[in-house]
Amino acid sequence: KRPVGVPDKGLARTVGSVGVVGAGLMASQLALLFVRRLKVPVVMTDLDDARAQAGVARVHGEVDTLVGKGRISHDEGNRLKALVTGGTDHALYAGADLVVEAVFEEMSVKQQVLASLEAVVRPDCVLATNTSSLSVAEMASGLQHPERMVGFHFFNPVAVMPLVEVARAPQTDDATYATAFAVGRQLGKSCVPVEDAPAFVVNRLLIRMLSEAFAAVDEGTPPDVVDAAVRPLGLPMSPLVLLQLVGPAVALHVLESLHAAFPDRFAVSGTLQKVVEARQPGIWSWDERGKPFLSEETQALLP
């Protein structure tokens, strides 16, 4: 087994064109980061043209916000917007040096997308996954060239969070791993080399904290008491506020993966399951002055 470690940067390939698969929130945040920092063409695809164009429009809107804040000039904003395009056909990735998938967090869906990508991309194109908890090795196992697959895990909000976990599967070759690191650095992120283990490193800690917060809620401690108790620890966000940022469905999915891998260490919270089933955006709602409160819908889900 090769130890993970920071690879020789001389092995990195140049990335002059990027693809993002998916055009949802996370994918749009990734597309914005790539176009802003690398200033290269970025193609987004989704299942239908309406979703793909909505993703492109979201990126354009974020570029306009940066122009509005005076972070970039009007001309630069127009140049960046022209670099972002969308569609449905994976053949649009034919010229890409790197394609990052950010589609639904389900192994079979990801494997299907990757097989479809492999049929159209160049032989030296790196295929990266932004999965938060699935095995990169298993994802790569159906590929003809699994050595070009790497885990590239970003955090919410992508523009602000300084970290990327770069996960090396046993199949990942040195050039692929070095390219992911080089790109991560060009994006202005700190890249950490991690094993291809369930939920890598960060989510094991974050989701453990979140699941313990939910365990307290499951036992009857009110959410405001849980969050207030944790506040003196100095975290940028209390756990039940963080839930809103991550999204309850994503948090539950990672928790279920961790429970499957380490049943003694990660319990699946009944309250979190109810929040997801009820399609609530989280525990807290915020009034117009930004003050958190528990909506009637959420209160009904609490023990």
The set of catalytic residues is 153
User: How far apart (Å, rounded) are the C-alpha atoms in residues 152 and 136?
Assistant: 10
Question: Binding of ligand 3HC at residue 161 (CB under 6 A)?
Answer: yes
Phi-psi region of 236 (alpha: psi -120 to 50; beta: other; left: phi over 0): alpha
Closest approach, Cβ 200 to ligand 3HC, in A, equals 9
Question: Binding of ligand 3HC at residue 237 (CB under 6 A)?
Answer: yes
C-beta separation of 44 from 27 below 8 A: yes
Q: Cβ contacts of residue 178 below 8 Å, gap of 6+? A: 7, 8, 9, 10, 11, 12
Question: Binding of ligand 3HC at residue 132 (CB under 6 A)?
Answer: yes
Question: Binding of ligand 3HC at residue 160 (CB under 6 A)?
Answer: yes
Question: Binding of ligand 3HC at residue 250 (CB under 6 A)?
Answer: yes
Residue 1 or 69: the one with the smaller Cβ distance to ligand 3HC is 69
User: How far apart (Å, rounded) are the C-alpha atoms in residues 49 and 148?
Assistant: 28
What's the angle, vertex CA 194, arms to CA 130 and CA 267, rounded to 5? 75
Question: Binding of ligand 3HC at residue 257 (CB under 6 A)?
Answer: no
Question: Binding of ligand 3HC at residue 249 (CB under 6 A)?
Answer: no
User: How far apart (Å, rounded) are the C-alpha atoms in residues 105 and 248?
Assistant: 13
Among 159, 201, 249, 302, binds ligand 3HC (CB under 6 A): 159
Closest approach, Cβ 29 to ligand 3HC, in A, equals 7
Question: Binding of ligand 3HC at residue 209 (CB under 6 A)?
Answer: no
243: which 2 tokens? 């839930």
User: How far apart (Å, rounded) are the C-alpha atoms in residues 189 and 175?
Assistant: 19
Among 127, 206, 226, 252, binds ligand 3HC (CB under 6 A): 206
Binding span for ligand 3HC by CB under 6 A among 96-104, 151-159, 222-230, 279-287: 151-159
C-beta separation of 190 from 162 below 8 A: yes
Length of the chain as a residue count: 303
Binding span for ligand 3HC by CB under 6 A among 82-90, 110-118, 245-253, 259-267: 245-253
Question: Binding of ligand 3HC at residue 284 (CB under 6 A)?
Answer: no
Burial of 169 (0-12, 13-18, 19+ CB in 10 A): buried
Closest approach, Cβ 124 to ligand 3HC, in A, equals 28
Residues that bind ligand 3HC (CB under 6 A): 132, 155-157, 159-161, 203, 206, 236-237, 242, 245-246, 250, 254
